[in-house]
Structure 1
Amino acid sequence: MWRHVFAYAMNPEVYLDADNIRSLLPKDLPEEVSCDLPLGERLGALRIRAEDLAARWRDLFDTLDAEREREAEAAILEQTAPLASAFGAALQGLSAPCVFEDPVNLRLMALLADDIGVGAPERSRFDRFRDICRAYEVTSVAGSIAQLSDTREIRDGMFRLPATIFAMSRRSDVFDCELIGLDLAWRHVGLLPVWGDLRLDGKRRRALDVSLATSIDLVQGQTANALALEIGEEIAGDRVRRARLCHGISIFAVLMEEMDALARAIVRSISDPRLAMAILVQDRAREARVYHSAFKLEGRPLSDWFAQSQDDPMPLVDALGRSRLIRPGQPERSQLINGLLRPDGAMFRIFSQADIAIIARWITSLAQEGERERAAETVLPKAVRLSPGRQPVAAGDLEIGARPGDIRTAYFLLQGRALAPRTRQFALDYCAFWLDLARRSVDRSDRSLPGDWRPGELREWLQTSHDAHGRAFEEARDQEFPSRESVIEQTVQLAPLTLIDGAWLQGFTDVSMASSRFGAPLFETYWDELGNGDWQINHPKIYRDVLAAMAVTLPPTGSRAFAEDRRIDDGSYRLPVYWLAIGKFPVTFRPEILGLNLAMELSGVGGSYRNAREFLKHHGFPTIFVDLHNTIDNVSSGHSAWAADAIDAYVQSSRDVVPVAESWARIRAGYESLAPLVDDPRELDFFARTSAGKPGRGAAPPGTIDTFHHHPLRETETAS
């Protein structure tokens, strides 16, 4: 079950109903006790419990010889790979346009950025974990995150904690405080007990210790744990949020201990043949029960034994040990191995060579008197019972969500991250409409990307475009300055766009993409737009400072009041809605996003930013916003260069699966989508131009829409 939840929740575009997620969470958590304690004491108790678990691991490793110790380390790495893939995942969905200016969310992003190794492709904590796996020759889990759920050697229960984290992260609008509490608990524990006895050098050990920073300087030089605790204390000042924070801490505590017990059972099985056989039997029990109804073992159909083994395999293991299929101490003469598993046997290829080695070792152990006596213990101890747990999850409702009937409602509705089914369909329709206009624009002007992609040529094209922008600026220098009123009006009309700067890249905060060769520069661009964790250089905040200098105050970006502000024209929301929509689909529209990103980062460099600076300076307004972009978007080492590098990396990495011409055509359309060429601006009106834009069933009037907005974490909540 849990591997399937993990695989499903890995999709950054998936919608998960909050009640379904709640049904997956552990029950009977000790929350009342937890929340009565000061946050530091609650975390201190968790740390003491983790130290106790670490002591158990040390005791277990003390019983292993050198060969078994190496096997144990390899088993730990293989089994904990899903957990390692969740480094940073609790925070991956917290950033959303409606909270782009929230200082607490910005500091949380600093923690996420550190976990994914921002600025260094393939240097996230999980990437470093994979390096460790390769060093131990554990190649089964050295691939991508998406491949882990298909690794059958990993026990289903080992997916529970990471699956829970990924699932909750898809609804950060609902579980924000719980996720922050969970992340805080993990950072307070630091290096998990299960990894404590791995023989690692300092750098690799640091990568697995989430209490410590890895790749960047955090806010004010803090450790990861100290920053997380500071944020937690700030949130815990509100009673309701404190309870939710404690809930997240408890979720982590319970699931960490469950995972730890399962991992220890697996390692114990290395030196305990009976336990190893029990684990193997339970792994195969569900499928095996289908095929063994005719065979009787001790008077019962073998299918019944397998049904029981899904929860407790030990009775079947011991019954097999007493059966005619086994000759204790003689695996080579036992029918199970030399008959059923032979090339002409009924169970040929059912078991791998590693599985057969486990069976042979167990049969050999049965010759030992102690093992024969212990076989009478037919109940698997609860501490190591390995049942994956199965429970039904209700199907989703495809009619959930609202479909906006006008552009202002669309802007308001798309401010979060999660998309309910009807809203998702609207976002897809809007993207399709906008990209259709963009495809018609390709090659209608000399601004389009080259007709073909060739390795290394995009950077040269970038320089040529930059030169053209520079010439255009020089040619326009003698033009008359626009009036003060005109500059203010233009700044106001650009607010819906600029206050969600980077929204097209929001999907690339996902840990599965943020450290990839093409994703790392996109995440770093997004990270820059939001100020690298520093509210003072947060781009939306700086833009509001410019507006304030013009005596203009606008409502919070994610509010209904902002979307309904009549100082802003309807047409000023059209491109922003496209940004908000396409940013929700980092997989579906990946090539288009790459093209759009290049267009956006290049659009003002060398030309329009310099013009804007002249206009602002002339009228005595601050120029910091355009100054900042003219430097960080530069074509040599800034965002424009990163955008080109991301495109090259994507095309190179996908060319064996998707024809280059197909990817490039989509990238070119994405590039044009920043400003599709139309004969009449009304052609950009989705709601007037398409039947999909007509209000219909599910289109909600203002004030009645159930949004999936995130909320600034500095506000206080009141208990209901």
Structure 2
Amino acid sequence: MSAGRFSWPPPELGAAEVQRFRFSPPVARAADEVLADGPVRVYRRLLADQESETGALVALRLLDAVHGPDHDGHDAARGPDHDGHDAARGPDHDVIDTARGPDHDVIDAARGPGGDVTTASVTALVAAAREASAPVVRRLTAGPPERIRTVLRHRAPLALLSGCWLDNLSSPATQPDALVNQLFVHRFRLKGEGRPEHGCEQRRRRALERYDLHLPPLNSDAFLTGTDCRPLTAWHGAYLLALSRLPAAHLPEVVGVHVAHYLLGVDGLLLGHPEPLTETMLTEVLDACVARTHTAPHGAADRRRLLAAVRRYLDIEAENLALLTAHAEHESGLSPDARAARVLLRHAPYAGAQHRRLRLAGRPLSAALDEGLSDPATLLARLRESPYLRRRPDGGCAFLDALKFGGAMFGVFDEQEAATLRSWVASVQDGAPAGPAAVADPGGAAAAGRWAAAVTRGPSPRETSAGPDAPDDRTLLHRLVDVEHHAAVLPLARARCEETLAAAEVLFEHGARGRFTDASYFDYTPQRLVRRVESVYWDKLVRTCAPPAGTPTREQVVTERKQSALCHLVDGVWAYRTGNTGRYDRTSQGMLFAIYADEMGRGELRKNHIVLIRQVLDDMAVDVPHLGSPAFLGQRELPDASYPFALYQLCLAQFPDSLHNEILGFNLGAEMFGLGELCLQQIDKLSAHGFDTSYERAHLTIDNMSAGHARQAAEIIVSFLDDVHRTAGPEAVQREWRRVWRGYASYASFVERRLVLSVAARERLRSRAGAAAPRDAGARAEAP
């Protein structure tokens, strides 16, 4: 049976033009505040916040500003004269020309002979832009190390985001799908195939370190400061992050940016190593995307969106190269005084009271530094004339002594900064005349202002307010699957998670009585966790194995399969947002991402677990619409009783940061449950009636306790808590562990439903008896 039978496009691929994005009423004001605070805050918010409605609305506003609400990609980027070229230009740069063909018509250059968009014409457009940009990149990487270092530092906020737009593309709304899985292959490679140290970000960080650029983590507040990120660069990065937040609704844009980014290859050229994705891989994706638009309901619109995204991204890259060129030229033209002023003034705000006893030209040095922020020339002139720079017979001076070990400024400046100051002092002592000390803005302000004006112009015509309601399980599942358009559901998802997790703690005391799990609590050590896992495996999943008692009828087997099918249709969903940009630097994150990759067949549609369960249902003639389709709301094949467990998994998936611990524990329960008695009995039942058993057999092998997902799930927890131990100590380990085990108990609470209900019933009886006891005792005391 062909896996292509189960390759659905995301629901109404082109319908994002008319679909509404629903948010809770207070969110619009919160988004206004974030956007009004400027690009640095927007960049940081989109990078750090992948769980809130506010982040999603900020992303939508930004995408509309770049592409326009009609996704034509022209009007939103245009200036008041409606010339889509001028809006992307700096004062001295025509960035559109960089991407144009010889006839200077970008649209025509990307269309085939029949006037339509084709793979060949789009790749030719990018190739023309690459040819035009190559000499620019060569000039940027020529010259002294400090010049190259400046360029790479200013490029880092974009270079280290590479591929972020694929972060959330594989989801319940898009799986299983041939194009999505092709792109997942790319993401898997960019993520180092589950090994963060081999991923694109870490490889690029190592390349930057060759230039002594040791940058803070992406999700730290210090990252943009450490890269001296300019507003225009922050807007560029924020756009890429916005695309990562709403990729299913913007699939043509994702493909356009993805192909243009890696075919253009700016970062590979700047860093001097090949891009991780080959041209063949990229053109195959482009082929698939263009081909599907010829059968999609909104195919012509999707092709326009694809082309517009390529155009816009080439504009952005040209805009950024112009800014980098301005930085490089500015760096080359700086006088020694300007270089020294830049270093001193970068640290002046933190001088504080340390310099209160020192004086410069009769004034406290701290006051002179404060004044230097607005008048660097006067500060440098006073330093030149001060005794601090006066050369002694040994060649030293008080200023240089302060930079050495034991000196007042030792450790304040990094190696490059200290070298800049030593060079400046030497030039002053050798009698070099003073040069310009002002450090002017190297450019980009006008273009950044146009971005800001477009982003803050007001609400998106696609956003709408969704008041609080209490949807039934079917509606809630539909909204969670299509959460991009239903962000207002997130508070409900959070409440359901907290309620389920709190209730599951009853198994901390009673979990040992579980039939297939043991969620009874224990203080963590790696050895105790392994013993518990192996005990559950042997005592509850393997030793109890026996063939099914009798052979159920065909109808009984089908009914049983329907009862569990919904959970299988969201297989691995709890981990689908793991390892996203800014949070992929731990071994445990890479391991969990690799497990999710296995569930998705590592990009091979025939191995995708959603395809496998669809094959089983198809073999039984159970016709169920795609989860993301509105038609699923009315399906009658899968029972209502199966919704709560699938819903909990979808809810948990929405909080990959704040419920990370709980997800690790839940993952352990899920990966172990694919082993042992139930799975083997299910294979026997299916085989007895000639039904497809591929789904069960896949889990029985891939989840094995020896080295498969069940073992890996325990190792992920050990690795995670080992990191906690090293960074926060043993007490923190036990706090974090309790949350991990609460996640395991939440899985067990669904599997051991009879046990949970019996414990709850017993507690109710005990509570009633306790409430009645004082009244009975009082009555006896009053009796004669």
Q: Same fold (TM over 0.5)?
A: yes
1:144 corresponds to which of 205, 217, 221? 217
In the alignment, structure 1 residue 413 sits paired with structure 2 residue 479: yes
Alignment of 1:308-457 (within 5 A): 326-327=384-385, 332=390, 352-353=412-413, 358=420, 361=423, 375=436, 391=452, 403-418=469-484, 422-446=488-512, 447-449=517-519, 451-457=522-528
2:539 equivalent to 1:468: yes
Q: Does the CA-based 8 Å contact 1:481-1:615 persist in structure 2?
A: yes
Structure 2 CA distance, aligned partners of 1:512 and 1:150?
11
Shift of 1:628: 0.7
**Alignment pair present for 1:521 and 2:591:** yes
Given that 2:563 and 2:642 are in contact with CA atoms closer than 8 Å, whether structure 1 keeps it comes out as yes
- State how far apart, in whole Å, the 2-side matches of 1:451 and 1:381 are: 59
Q: Where does residue 16 of structure 1 map in the other structure?
A: 56
Q: 1:249 aligns with which of 313, 318, 321?
A: 313
1:648 is displaced (CA, Å) by 0.6
Task: Give the distance between the partners of 1:550 and 1:274, measured in 2 at CA.
Answer: 79
- Distance in 2 (CA, whole Å) between partners of 1:13 and 1:502 is 18
Q: Report the secondary structure of 1:635's partner residue.
A: coil
Query: 2:196, 2:439 → 1: CA distance?
Result: 49
Give structure 2 stretches of 5+ with no counterpart. Answer: 1-37, 67-76, 79-86, 89-95, 111-121, 295-301, 352-360, 362-366, 392-396, 760-784
| Counterpart code for 1:46 | A
Is the Cα–Cα contact under 8 Å of residues 329 and 366 in structure 1 kept in the other structure? no
Q: Do the aligned partners of 1:117 and 1:515 also contact (CA within 8 Å) in 2?
A: no
How far the C-alpha of 1:537 sits from its partner, in A, is: 1.7
Q: Secondary structure at the match of 1:83?
A: helix
Q: 2-side partners of 1:564 and 1:682: how far apart?
A: 30
Match of 1:5 in 2: 42
Amino acid at match of 1:260: L
TM-score by length of 1: 0.75
TM-aligned CA distance change 1:623 to 1:193, over 3 Å = closer
8 Å CA contact 2:140–2:148 kept in 1: the answer is: no
The question of 1:624 aligning with 2:694 is answered yes
Bigger mean CA deviation after superposition, 186-195 or 667-676: 186-195
CA–CA distance in structure 2, aligned partners of residues 251 and 496 of structure 1: 44
- Deviation digits for residues 231-265 of structure 1, max 9, x if unmatched? 55446764333344325533542354245325525
Matching residue within 539, 545, 554 for 1:484 = 554
Q: Deviations over 1:79-117 (max 9, x none)?
A: 444334213212112122111111111111111110110
How big is the shift at 1:368?
9.8
What is the match of residue 706 of structure 1? none
CA contact (8 A) 1:101 1:535 kept: yes
- Aligned position for 2:167: 92
Query: Against the structure 1 CA distance between its residues 127 and 616, is the aligned structure 2 distance closer, same or farther, given a 3 Å change threshold?
Result: same
Aligned partner of 2:471: which letter? Answer: G
Q: 1:680/1:649 Cα in 2 relative to 1: closer, same or farther (>3 Å)?
A: closer
**Residue number in structure 2 paired with 1:179:** 254
* Most deviating of 457-466 and 276-285: 276-285
Note if 1:55 corresponds to 2:138: yes
Other-structure match for 1:670: 743
Contact 2:600 2:608 in 1 (8 A): yes
Residue equivalent to 1:587: 657
TM-score under structure 2 length normalisation: 0.70
Larger-Rg structure = 2
Identify if the C-alpha distance between structure 1 residues 674 and 46 changes in structure 2 by more than 3 Å, giving closer, same or farther: same
* C-alpha contact (below 8 Å) 1:83/1:161 kept by paired residues: yes
Asked whether the 8 Å contact 2:661–2:743 carries over to 1, the reply is yes
1:659 shift after superposition? 2.0
The letter of the residue matching 2:594 is: E
Report if aligned partners of 1:329, 1:363 keep a CA contact under 8 Å in 2. Answer: no
Say if 1:565 and 1:388 are closer, same or farther in 2 by CA, change over 3 A: closer
Equivalents in 1 of 2:369, 2:486: separation in Å? 42
Amino acid in structure 1 at the alignment position of 2:336: P
Residues of 1 paired with 2:644 and 2:40: CA distance?
40
Relative to its length, the structure with more helix (as a share) is 2
> How many pairs were matched up?
632
Question: Quick one: distance in 1 between partners of 2:411 and 2:552?
Answer: 78
1:45 is matched with 128
C-alpha separation between the residues in 2 aligned to 1:50 and 1:459? 55
Alignment match, 2:733: 660
Counterpart residue number, 1:120 = 195
Change (3 A) 1:194 1:155: farther
Contact 2:348 2:370 in 1 (8 A): no
The answer to whether the 8 A contact 1:120-1:520 is kept is: yes
Quote how far apart the aligned CAs of 1:162 are: 3.1
> In the TM superposition, what are the counterparts of 1:598-637 in structure 2 within 5 Å?
598-637=668-707
Say if 1:513 and 1:520, in contact at 8 Å, map to a contact too: no
Question: Which residue pairs with 2:781 in the alignment?
Answer: none
Q: Give a deviation string over 1:396-445, Cα, whole Å, max 9, x none.
A: 99965764421111100001354866422111101011112211223423
Q: Is the 8 A contact 1:266 1:276 kept in 2?
A: no
Shift of 1:635: 1.0
Report if the CA contact (8 A) 2:606-2:612 is conserved.
yes
Query: CA 1:148 to 1:612, structure 2 compared with 1: closer, same or farther past 3 Å?
Result: same
Cα distance in 2 between the residues matched to 1:445 and 1:455: 20
* 1:50–1:457 Cα change, 3 Å: farther
Q: Which residue of 2 aligns with 1:273?
A: 336
**Aligned residue number for residue 713 of structure 1:** none
For the residue of structure 1 that corresponds to 2:176, the secondary structure is coil
Q: 1:134 to 1:382 in 2, by over 3 A?
A: closer
Q: Once the 2 structures are TM-superposed, how far is the Cα of residue 665 of structure 1 from its aligned partner?
A: 1.8
Structure 1 residues 267 and 636 mapped into 2: Cα distance closer, same or farther (>3 Å)?
Answer: farther
**TM-fit CA distance, 1:613:** 0.5
Which has the higher mean CA deviation after the structures are superposed, 414-423 or 117-126? 414-423
Change (3 A) 1:391 1:511: closer
Aligned-residue offset at 1:531: 1.5
Change (3 A) 1:584 1:391: same
Q: Which runs of 5+ in 1 are unaligned?
A: 198-204, 213-221, 289-294, 296-300, 310-315, 685-720
Q: Please give the alpha-carbon distance, in whole angstroms, between the structure 1 residues aligned to 2:183 and 2:413.
A: 46
- Against the structure 1 CA distance between its residues 166 and 35, is the aligned structure 2 distance closer, same or farther, given a 3 Å change threshold? same
Q: Aligned letter for 1:631?
A: T
Give the aligned residue type for 2:314: S
- Quick check: 2:665–2:744 contact (8 Å CA) kept in 1? yes
Task: Give the C-alpha shift of residue 10 in structure 1.
Answer: 1.6
Amino acid at match of 1:664: W
Q: SS where residue 594 of structure 1 aligns?
A: helix
Q: Which residue of 1 aligns with 2:778?
A: none
Q: For 1:36, give the aligned amino acid.
A: D
What percent of counterpart residues are identical? 22
Q: 1:469 to 1:247 in 2, by over 3 A?
A: farther
CA contact (8 A) 1:505 1:522 kept: yes
Provide the alpha-carbon RMSD of the alignment: 4.5
Distance 1:247 1:582, change over 3 A: farther
Deviation, 1:576, is 0.8
Residues 151 and 241 (structure 1 numbering): CA distance in 2 closer, same or farther, change over 3 Å? closer
Structure 2 equivalent of residue 694 of structure 1: none
Whether the 8 Å contact between 1:53 and 1:193 is mirrored in structure 2 is: no
Shift of 1:495: 2.6
Partner SS state of residue 597, structure 1: helix
CA deviations 1:33-92 (Å, max 9, x no partner) are 43332202211122112212123135x32xx3xxxx3x4555555444433421321211
Structure 2 CA distance for aligned equivalents of residues 604 and 104 of structure 1: 28
Measure the CA separation in 2 of the matches of 1:367 and 1:136.
29
Q: CA deviation at 1:560?
A: 2.4
